[in-house]
């Protein structure tokens, strides 16, 4: 079995697979470089909680990269862009926490490699009796 899970919930998936009677054999990582973090900007939240209004200091470099609908800007991923402008933190506390978020950029997807318990006792006996149970060396 090869099953993918989220970075924050992989441990629960692996435990559930083990609880279902499978043997965990290994973990595989699918590494990728695309995607944007689904992160909360700590600095913006501090200003919002203080009721402070941020000042516009320029246009966002990724705004207006195309048109999702007439007159609507989109970001690099093609989804509507809510942030068309760059803002400066309004409070001292927000300036201190500028650039901090609540999540990391997603860059990998963990996969669990598991198998059913051996029915014939050994890997060799299982392969001879059932015709499966091994992987080609080129794949491993």
C-alpha distances in angstroms, 70 versus 4, 47, 80, 113, 118? 38, 32, 11, 47, 60
Q: Please tell me the predicted confidence (pLDDT) of residue 17.
A: 97
All residue ranges of the chain with pLDDT < 50 are 67-82
Q: What is the DSSP letter of 18?
A: H
Q: Please tell me the predicted confidence (pLDDT) of residue 107.
A: 80
Q: Please tell me the predicted confidence (pLDDT) of residue 40.
A: 85
Q: Please tell me the predicted confidence (pLDDT) of residue 45.
A: 94
Q: What is the DSSP string of 64-87?
A: SSS-SSTT--B-TTSSB-S--EEE
Q: Please tell me the predicted confidence (pLDDT) of residue 136.
A: 65
């Amino acid at each position: 079995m090869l099953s993918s899970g989220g970075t924050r919930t992989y441990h629960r998936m692996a435990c559930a697979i083990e609880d279902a009677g499978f043997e965990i054999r290994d973990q595989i990582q699918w590494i990728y470089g695309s995607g944007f973090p689904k992160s909360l900007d700590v600095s913006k939240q501090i200003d919002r909680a203080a009721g402070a209004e941020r000042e516009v200091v320029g246009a966002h470099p990724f705004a207006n990269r195309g048109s999702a609908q007439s007159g609507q800007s989109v970001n690099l991923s093609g989804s509507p862009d809510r942030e068309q402008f760059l803002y400066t933190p309004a409070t001292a506390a927000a300036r201190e926490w500028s650039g901090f978020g609540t999540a990391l950029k997603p860059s990998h997807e963990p996969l669990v490699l598991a198998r059913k318990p051996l029915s014939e006792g050994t890997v060799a006996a299982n392969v001879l009796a059932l015709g499966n149970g091994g992987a080609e060396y080129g794949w491993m």
